[in-house]
Amino acid sequence: MNKSVYLVLLIACFYACKKEKQDETKPIALTSFVNTFIGTDGPGNTYPGATVPFGMVQLSPDHGIPGWDRISGYFYQDSIISGFSHTHLSGTGAGDMYDILVMPTNSRFSEKIKDNNFKPFSSFSHEEETASPGYYSVMLSDFGIKAEVTATRRTGIHQYTFPKDSLSQIHIDLGYSLNWDKPTETYFNIVDDTTIEGYRMSKGWARDQRLYFVINLSKPFKSYTLLSNDEKVISPVKGVNTKLILDFSTSENEKIVLKTGLSTGSIDGAYKSISTEAPDFNFETYKSKADSIWNNQLQKIKIETDDVEKKTIFYTMLYQSMLAPTLLSDLNGDYKGANDTIMNAKGYDRYDTFSLWDTYRAAHPLHTILHPKRVSSMVNSLLAHYNETGLLPVWSMQGNETNMMIGYHAVPVIVDAYFKGIEDFNVELAFEACKKSAMDNTRQIDDYMKYGFVPIDEDHENWSVSKTLEYAYDDWCIAQFAKDLGKDEDYKYFSERANYWKNIYDSSSTFMRPKYKNDKFIEHFIPKEYTPYFCESNAWQYVWSVPQDIETLIDTIGREKAFEKKLDSMFSYYPLAEDKLPIFSTGMIGQYAHGNEPSHHVGYLYNYIGKPWKTQEKVREILQTQYKNAPNGHCGNEDCGQMSSWYIFSSLGFYPVNPAQGVYSFGSPLFDKATIHLENGNIFTVSANNNSETNKYIQSITLNGKSINQSYITHKNIMEGGNLVFVMGSEPNKDNQFLMAPSSKVFN
């Protein structure tokens, strides 16, 4: 062999081997451990489509068939797709959104069915479907069209790979609606053969939704049909039920990219979304950017485990914790305000989709650790809602108050952020908003202030016991806020209201019990029954809802032994076969319902009576039985990040029993090591030495090399960085009684 040729081959071989070695050591992207289908079956109500963290766009497939199982647009057991709409709710029980449906078709298939309101559809197979953070793809088998979608913060990008056909089409349907959602006015304007602009106004759970859009196409359409109420019209057109069908001739495997820029403020804002965030038609670039954005966010917590299933669950939960709140303002800062006018956010991003009854418990505390800069915008968003309406939001979305659920739980989110040092919001305005929301005369707050509890009334969702308990907790938060600001009178007043939970405690039954206005308890009372007096729960599940003063709750029920016995019964008193359980009572362990939020802190309460090993048992049981790497991997509604945030906290080994206290109660860490990379540049690690399936009991704890004798860690400890080390064992260390529980006086 010629020496020069030999030398060239030798060099090539060297670099090939070097590259192979580099590839072997290259870390696997954490997005590869996310299964976006977890929760798309069973009661999870999640969607599998494309979005970026806290983004405005949730571009996901819709079956087009209504119903509870398809409340997010998609249900894993279904077998047809009717298109891809741009907005979805993650894991809720609310059937709303589904804006701007896009569906590619061709001449191969034209069947219509009543079930999806006679919209175009195609069958599909899960074998020809794939998804990852920021990306979704499926083969629409009846058409032979491969559909792919990805997203930026405010733009949805579609790529359709067509077979050869002279009658290929893309349908854009503004009249499409599902479940509670209904269009009120829609608008199309055909600007040219690659540009369409318009809007979709709708009502549903949120009564006044406005979404402006601009669509750009990579290929000019050769003709189009514009319909209003199924009759041909000319552009521009306004109507309730409008639809646009674009015609193309396609060659084999020809790709057409469609980009949809969104704004809740104006068409101009939608143009800016698309020109700034998606200026070209390189689908792979946007897909890669979305993956990179997600990977960077997932890198905030690095876990070490050989169990791929657990790793997949963890990173999927971390992913789902970042699907809400969602961006509302456009690049001009404009957004549809809760006062039904176009408002402008200056110096912050305006967010909405605040599922506060759910997310104040763990999701927002998790955000304060992982995303403190974004939390500043979230708090400013809550205050913007107050400026627009005179009250903080209860459950807000798309610039609307839905008044769903109970409490004024924007309060603990704001107070928690304040005490954790979240910056760049008006503190005096925040206190004003908290106080005014607690003094409002709606939602039986007037009765609560008058009687010291919310009494029974004839409303089918009276929820009187739950309201009393939730209001009292929020009042405790306001009291702490007032105390720190030197507002002594407010501190005294709201501290008194924080004790109103005592007014509904019935010592004869040892439960929180519904009361009439005359201060008499209701006669018929069976604690396990689901009645109108408890919000999506029963008396068993709500008796523990005094996170602001667990010590007094323990004394009230019966110091330690009685409390422990009742807590044991909570996890062992299973419903009978003939008991009628509502749809939200899922993930049952005795009367404990992990599928719904009021139970989420209960397993940690053993820490407060010197029995931390029982907390460790229960937390491990919940972690291992109520989450799995499967489409039905959620035991209940995921609820905008709450169910997933419980898992993140608990698998790390701690949880915020009192969400606004800045204190995290220890459970049982699931992983050998977890490293939290904080935005302030610090690193906090959690190690579990000698950890295993059986070694679930904490034997000892050190923080930065020093033994600690407490069953909690503070937010300040975490944010300063450091090392938390658990030594685990197979038997309970009952000497752990020396571990001091987090008193209500411990703060941050």
Domain ranges in the chain are 31-298, 589-748
Confidence bin at 21 (pLDDT 50/70/90): very low
Phi, psi of 591 (to 5 degrees): -90, -10
CA distance 418 to 415: 5
Tokens read off for 196: 């369409």
Neighbours of 285 (CB within 10 A): 13
Give the per-residue pLDDT at 25. 52
Give the per-residue pLDDT at 736. 60
* Mean pLDDT for the stretch of residues 175-197: 98
Residue type, 7: L
The class that CATH gives domain 31-298 is mainly beta
Give the per-residue pLDDT at 740. 73
CA distance 174 to 154: 18
Q: Does residue 419 carry a pLDDT above 70?
A: yes
* Mean pLDDT for the stretch of residues 29-36: 98
Give the per-residue pLDDT at 48. 98
Q: Is the peptide bond before 236 cis (omega within 30 degrees of 0)?
A: yes
Q: Does residue 238 carry a pLDDT above 60?
A: yes
Q: Are 74 and 60 in contact (CB under 8 A)?
A: yes
* Mean pLDDT for the stretch of residues 551-571: 95
CA distance 198 to 214: 7
What's the chain's length in residues?
748
Q: Give all strands (DSSP E) within 141-208, no chain letters.
A: 145-151, 155-162, 165-173, 182-192, 195-203
* Mean pLDDT for the stretch of residues 23-44: 88
* Mean pLDDT for the stretch of residues 288-298: 98
Confidence bin at 744 (pLDDT 50/70/90): confident
Give the per-residue pLDDT at 20. 43
* Mean pLDDT for the stretch of residues 66-75: 96
CA distance 238 to 186: 6
How do residues 696-730 score in pLDDT, each as one tens digit?
Answer: 999 999 999 999 999 999 999 999 999 999 999 99
Q: Are 471 and 477 in contact (CB under 8 A)?
A: no
Strand 135-140 versus strand 242-250 pairing type: unpaired
Give the per-residue pLDDT at 514. 98
- Which of 511, 742, 437, 503 has the alpha carbon at shortest distance from 607? 742
Which CATH number is associated with domain 589-748? 3.30.2080.10
Taking phi over 0 as left and psi of -120 to 50 as alpha, with beta for the rest, 39 belongs to left
Q: 57 CB contacts (<8 Å, ≥6 apart)?
A: 50, 51, 86, 87, 151, 152, 153, 154, 155, 156, 260, 262
How do residues 650-694 score in pLDDT, each as one tens digit?
Answer: 999 999 999 999 999 999 999 999 999 999 999 999 999 999 999
Give the per-residue pLDDT at 11. 43
Q: Does residue 5 carry a pLDDT above 50?
A: no
Q: Does residue 15 carry a pLDDT above 90?
A: no
Q: Does residue 101 carry a pLDDT above 60?
A: yes
CA distance 381 to 373: 13
Radius of gyration of the chain from its Cα atoms, rounded to whole angstroms: 27
- Which of 649, 604, 568 has the alpha carbon at shortest distance from 742? 604
Give the per-residue pLDDT at 737. 61
For residue 207, what are the β-bridge partners? none
Q: Does residue 22 carry a pLDDT above 70?
A: no
Give the per-residue pLDDT at 24. 45
Confidence bin at 459 (pLDDT 50/70/90): confident
Give the per-residue pLDDT at 738. 57
- Which of 224, 216, 219 has the alpha carbon at shortest distance from 247? 224
Confidence bin at 26 (pLDDT 50/70/90): low
* Mean pLDDT for the stretch of residues 620-624: 98
Q: Does residue 1 carry a pLDDT above 60?
A: no
Q: Does residue 396 carry a pLDDT above 80?
A: yes
Q: Is the peptide bond before 325 cis (omega within 30 degrees of 0)?
A: yes
